[in-house]
């Protein structure tokens, strides 16, 4: 095959109280009336219980599975609840969405993405990040058949989650730089439209920074729309390249080092300050934007040690040897990592 399939959701709903229209939306899409809801302990209360209430009122058969992490064990358990006529509905943060996305892909059934937080750009992407001790980067799955993002629920979620989503988007600036570098040096496949969409998604945040505030439905809507377009850039590229470069490798390295990793977007944001400085480009702009959306800008705010930063920087290029970035083929030495982190006031 010499053409690439671009997967997109068929319908996208982002707006206040849209969660209470779940059954109506499913019916308009002619989806199965047998729904499996995947959710988390907090997101059951934040969103899933309203989805269940709405579906049961409309005569749906509803099964529920609560998960605590995006592991292969949890994917296997979820798959045991899926028949050929099950509609899988992920109501929660990134881990819940990824487990629902991957299990539905393995069982070849439809999946609906219902994020309860605007914390990451996997809400519509055809990729899932399922963790095991050897791998934390994303794997191929299917895009959701529909995205239903209730901006009131997202506005009511902890502000830290919205900040993390903004940081995941701001990190697109370094991801695209890495992609362009890899295209120039290694002739990796590059898509101008995916790269432009990724940068536009980040700019939707940085050009609207004064509108990102806690508890505001409008802020939640802006971030959701940006995450949607960033996820679409991933779909167009057929890889996470437009939204994941060396700064994400730094975050994946932290996932390995830390017993309890911090929020994905927060780690990527700090990584983006460091990698922008490695490019000799305007890292203070990245830092100012992160600060303005309330995301961490240094090790202390991230809640990790200076040594964790150095170790993650040195380990980063080993995370994904097939993805060329500013870290080059051999990565960065410990002394250079210290200089970089010190000069950018990350440590």
Ligand X SMILES: O=C(CO)COP(=O)(O)O
Ligand Y SMILES: NC(=O)C1=CN([C@@H]2O[C@H](COP(=O)(O)OP(=O)(O)OC[C@H]3O[C@@H](n4cnc5c(N)ncnc54)[C@H](OP(=O)(O)O)[C@@H]3O)[C@@H](O)[C@H]2O)C=CC1
137: contact with ligand X by CB under 6 A: yes
CB of 244 to ligand Y, least distance (A): 8
CA distance 48 to 137: 27
Task: Scan for tokens 């090790």, then name that residue.
Answer: 299
Nearest Cα neighbor of 275 from 198, 174, 167 is 174
Phi then psi for residue 253, to 5 deg, are -65, -40
CA distance 205 to 26: 31
Q: Please, which residue, 128 or 276, has the CB nearer to ligand Y?
A: 128
Select the span of 49-57, 73-81, 239-247, 253-261 touching ligand X (CB under 6 A): 239-247
74: contact with ligand X by CB under 6 A: no
Phi then psi for residue 17, to 5 deg, are 65, 15
Interface of this chain with ligand X, residues 86 to 125, rule: CB under 6 A: 121
Q: Which of 54, 74, 116, 138 binds ligand X (CB under 6 A)?
A: 138
**Is the separation of the CB atoms in 228 and 14 below 8 Å?**
yes
98: contact with Zn ion by CB under 5 A: no
Which of ligand Y, ligand X, Zn ion, none does 137 bind, CB closer than 5 to 8 A by kind?
A: ligand X
Q: Is 262 helix (H, G, I), strand (E, B) or coil?
A: coil
CB of 261 to ligand Y, least distance (A): 8
266: contact with Zn ion by CB under 5 A: no
Rg (CA), the chain: 19
CB of 1 to Zn ion, least distance (A): 28
243: contact with ligand X by CB under 6 A: yes
Nearest Cα neighbor of 246 from 183, 171, 300 is 171
86 annotated ligand-binding residue: no
335 annotated ligand-binding residue: no
Draw the binding track, 163-202, toward Zn ion (x: CB under 5 A; -: no contact): -----x----------------------------------
100 annotated ligand-binding residue: no
Which of ligand X, Zn ion, ligand Y, none does 198 bind, CB closer than 5 to 8 A by kind?
A: none
What's the burial of 190, exposed, middle or buried (CB within 10 Å: 0-12/13-18/19+)? middle
Task: Scan for tokens 């700064």, then name that residue.
Answer: 247
Nearest Cα neighbor of 175 from 239, 230, 116, 248 is 248
CB of 100 to ligand X, least distance (A): 16
CA distance 291 to 173: 16
CB of 327 to ligand X, least distance (A): 14
Known binding residues are 94-98, 116-119, 121, 125, 127, 168, 248, 252, 264
Known binding residues for Zn(2+) are 168, 248, 264
């Amino acid at each position: 095959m010499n053409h690439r399939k671009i997967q997109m959701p068929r319908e996208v709903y982002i707006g206040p109280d849209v969660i209470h229209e779940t059954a109506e939306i499913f019916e308009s899409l002619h989806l199965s009336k047998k729904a499996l809801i995947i959710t988390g302990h907090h997101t059951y209360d934040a969103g899933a219980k309203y989805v269940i209430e709405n579906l049961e009122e409309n005569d749906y058969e509803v099964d529920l599975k609560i998960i605590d992490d995006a592991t292969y064990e949890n994917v296997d358990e979820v798959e045991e609840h899926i028949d050929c006529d099950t509609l899988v509905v992920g109501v929660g943060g990134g881990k819940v969405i990824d487990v629902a996305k991957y299990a539905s892909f393995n069982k070849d059934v439809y999946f609906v993405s219902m994020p309860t937080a605007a914390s990451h750009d996997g809400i519509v992407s055809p990729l899932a990040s399922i963790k095991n001790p050897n791998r934390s980067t994303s794997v191929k799955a299917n895009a959701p058949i529909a995205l239903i993002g209730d901006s009131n629920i997202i506005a009511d979620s902890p502000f830290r989650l919205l900040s993390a989503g903004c940081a995941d988007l701001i990190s697109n600036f370094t991801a695209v730089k890495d992609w362009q570098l890899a295209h120039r040096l290694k002739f990796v496949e590059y898509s101008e439209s995916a790269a432009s969409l990724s940068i536009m998604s980040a700019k939707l945040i940085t050009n609207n920074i004064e509108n990102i505030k806690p508890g505001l439905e409008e802020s939640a809507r802006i971030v959701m729309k940006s995450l949607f377009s960033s996820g679409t850039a991933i779909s167009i590229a057929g890889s996470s390249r437009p939204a994941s470069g060396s700064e994400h490798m730094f975050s994946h390295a932290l996932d390995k080092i830390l017993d309890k990793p911090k929020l994905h977007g927060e780690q990527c944001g700090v990584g983006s300050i460091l990698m922008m400085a490695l490019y000799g480009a305007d890292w203070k702009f990245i830092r100012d934007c992160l600060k303005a959306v309330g995301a961490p800008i240094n090790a202390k705010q991230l809640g990790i040690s200076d040594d964790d930063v150095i170790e993650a920087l040195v380990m980063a290029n080993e995370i994904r040897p097939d993805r060329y970035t500013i870290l080059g083929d051999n990565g960065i030495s410990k002394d250079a990592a210290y200089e970089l982190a010190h000069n950018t006031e990350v440590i």
